[in-house]
Amino acid sequence: MKLKHYINGKWTDSSATEFYDVINPASEELLARTPLGTKAEVDAAVDAASQAYAHWKKTPVIDRIQPFFRLKSLMEKDFDLLAAEITKEHGKTLLESKGSVRRAIQMVETATSMPSLIMGEFQEDIAQSIDSHSVKQSMGVFAGIAPFNFPAMVPYWFWPFAVAAGNTYVLKPSERVPLTQILLTKLVEKAGFPPGVLNIVHGGKEVVNALCTHPSVKGVSFVGSTEVAKYVYKTSASHYKRVQSLGGAKNFMVILKDAHLEKAVDTALDSIIGCAGERCLAGSVIISIGQDVAQKVAEKMQERVKSIRIGDGMDPTTQMGPLISQAAKERICNMIDNAVKQGAELVIDGRIGVENMRGYFLKPTVLANIHKDQKIAQEEVFGPVICLATANSLDQAIEWINSSRYANTTTLFTTSGAAARKFRYEVHPGMVGINIGVPAPMSFFSFGGAKESFFGDIKVHGKASVDFFTDKKVTIERWSKGSSIW
Residues catalogued as catalytic: 280
User: What beta strand segments (E) does 215-369 contain?
Assistant: 217-223, 242-246, 251-255, 283-289, 345-348, 365-368
The C-alpha atoms of residue 156 and residue 150 are separated, in whole angstroms, by 10
What is the three-class DSSP state of 352? coil
Four-residue CA torsion sign, 80, 84, 86, 92: positive
The C-alpha atoms of residue 116 and residue 284 are separated, in whole angstroms, by 39
Q: Which of 52, 242, 75 is closest to 163 using CA atoms? A: 52
Residue 270: which residues within 8 A CB-CB, separation 6 or more? Answer: 437, 438
Buried b / exposed e along 301-325 (16+ C-beta atoms within 10 A): beebbeeeebbbbbeeebbbbbbbe
What is the three-class DSSP state of 21? strand
The C-alpha atoms of residue 130 and residue 430 are separated, in whole angstroms, by 40
* Helix or strand run (H / E) with residue 473: strand 470-478
Q: Which of 22, 34, 12, 90 is closest to 203 using CA atoms? A: 34
The C-alpha atoms of residue 222 and residue 232 are separated, in whole angstroms, by 7
